[in-house]
Every structure is written in C-alpha cells, then in structure tokens.
Amino acid sequence: MSKITELRFRNLVSEGFLRELILFFFLFLLTIAQVWESILLFIFPLISFGFYVFFRILSINKWKLTFSKDIIIYNPLGVEKRHANRFYFVSLFTLILIFWIGAESLYHPQLIEDYSSYFLALLIFVYTFGFIWIFIDMWKYSKIQIKLGKIIEDNENLNIHSISPSTSQKKEITSSLSFKVFKQIIIMNWIIFVSTNILNLLSIMFLENRILMGFNIILPGTSPLNQNGIHVSFLIFFFMIIPPSSCLISFLLLYNNIMKISLEKFEILLGALPRDKQLKIKQELFSLNDKFKLISRLE
C-alpha cells in the first residue's frame, strides 16, 4: 500500500461491516451459550467467516482508495464484495445449523439419532458449496481495466497523437482472466466439491452400519450417562481443510493470470494524459498494487 494513501484501521471498517460483525458474533455467542464441550463444529462457520472478513476488508479498502471508478476497474480477484456476501451467508447458515442441532439435543434429545445424518450431510454441503459458489461467475468480473475514452471526453486538449495507433483505437487497456485458467479453476473446485460430498455421504452410511471407525461430538443436551452425540468419521478434518486450501490455490492462479499485464501499454496510455491526470491515476494504481510502481515514478 502506498504511503501517500495509507489508511488507518478505523477507515477499513464501515457501518455495514460492523452490523454484520455484530450479527454474526451475537448468534455465535447464543450458540456457545448452549454449553458445547467440543468446538470442532464451530470451525466450519469460523473458516467461512474468516474468508468473509478478508474479502470485506479488501472491498472497503479498494472502494476508499479508488476515486476514478469510471476510469479504473481493478478486480484481479473478482468482485470482493460479492465474495464477502456469499461467504457471510454460508457462515451464518452453518452457524444456524449448529445452533439448531444444539437446541434439538436440549429439547428433543430422542430425535438426535434420526437428525444427525441429515445435519452432517447439510453442514458439509453448505460449507463446501461456499467455496465453489464464488467461482461460478468469476469469468465476468475478474479483470483490470483502464478506460481512456472517459478521460478523452473530459479533456478537449488531450494530446492523443502521442499514443500508439493500436492503443488509441481501443482507448483502454484490459487484462482479463484467460478461459484456460478459468476452466482449470472451475474443474478443480467442482471435482473437490462433488468428491467431498460423496465421501461425506459414504462415511455417514458406513458409520451407521458400523463399517467405518469414528468419534463422538458431544452435544449440549447429551446425557452424561450414555455420552451419545453426533458420530462422525475422521474424514471430517479432510472436509474442513481441503475446500479452503483449494480456494486459496485457485485465487493464487487467478491473480497471477490477471497480473500478466503490459505495463508498457499502461505507460503509453498514461503518457498522453495531462500531468495532473497522470499523477492522480498513478497514485491510485500504486495504492492498489505495488506492481504498478514499475511504471515511471512520480516526480
């Protein structure tokens, strides 16, 4: 981040962000108040919530750093706010599921054995779906674009002859996600999503038939005499770790692909603008990504 435009922490928090934080942690505290002995199930909504916080801060930061929103479109990871909203929905949904199974164990403990299989299937499905959901429409939004046409309209004395013919025809520089990389990301994450849920259903079936070994997660309403709870397989740790790991790898591939951008074309594009416009756009680019500092330095 540029020293000129460095934001304080308080500037990274918006009113909407605070509302969402309060709502999540209020529900989280209500669920914890049921007196859970194991925190294993809570890791699922917390991981999704962690991704939400990351993308929400990125979205707020980008919004406050980018003033020429009609000129600069900077979405190397797609639309961060859209990702944040989807992860927030998943984190709330999984937390509500955990609250529900905890309440059922308190008020209808005799039904836990019947409900536990459906609970585990739905929990893993919703959790893993969140990590494929964000990539479904990534093709449309993941790009970096600087539009010269807007500046030309606002500056009658623009020296457009200094731009190369190929650049002046397009009047913009764009770096979009390649279809090959998008296809690789989608296929990889769909395979993980489908295989994870199939394995989860198989593990539930094998556990019910005592073919597979597992362990108990003690519920708030579990009787201290029989110590019955939700019986899960050790594969639950695999289901917890693999989807977010695949998501991180996918975003790394996506980012590297988008950032293969011609800085020389950017420099030619900006060199034709009035000096004040150059300084403004360069400052915004520098604040968004240090790679743009390879463009001629500010004087």
Q: Which two tokens stand for residue 292?
A: 């743009």
Longest Cα–Cα distance in the chain = 85
Sequential DSSP letters for 247-264 = HHHHHHHHHHHHT---HH
Where exactly are the structural domains of the chain?
Answer: 9-142+177-261
- Tracing tokens 């539930």 back to the chain, one arrives at 204
Answer yes or no: are the C-beta atoms of 283 and 168 closer than 8 Å. Answer: no
For the whole model, what pTM was predicted?
A: 0.83
Mind listing the pLDDT tens digit of every residue in the chain (299 residues)? 444 344 455 566 678 899 999 999 999 999 999 989 889 999 999 999 999 999 999 888 877 766 556 677 788 888 899 999 999 999 999 999 999 999 888 888 777 777 888 999 999 999 999 999 999 888 888 888 777 665 655 554 444 444 444 444 456 677 778 888 899 999 999 999 999 999 999 999 998 888 888 888 888 877 655 556 788 999 999 999 999 999 999 999 998 888 877 666 666 666 666 677 767 777 777 666 666 655 544 44
The 10 Å CB-count burial string (b at 16+, else e) for 58-76 is bbbbbeebbebeebbbbbb
* Residue 189 CB-density burial (10 A; 0-12 exposed, 13-18 middle, 19+ buried): buried
Q: Which two tokens stand for residue 27?
A: 């529900």
Give Cβ neighbours of residue 242 (< 8 Å, ≥ 6 apart): 192, 196
Sequential DSSP letters for 43-64 = HHHHHHHHHHHHHHHHHHHHHH
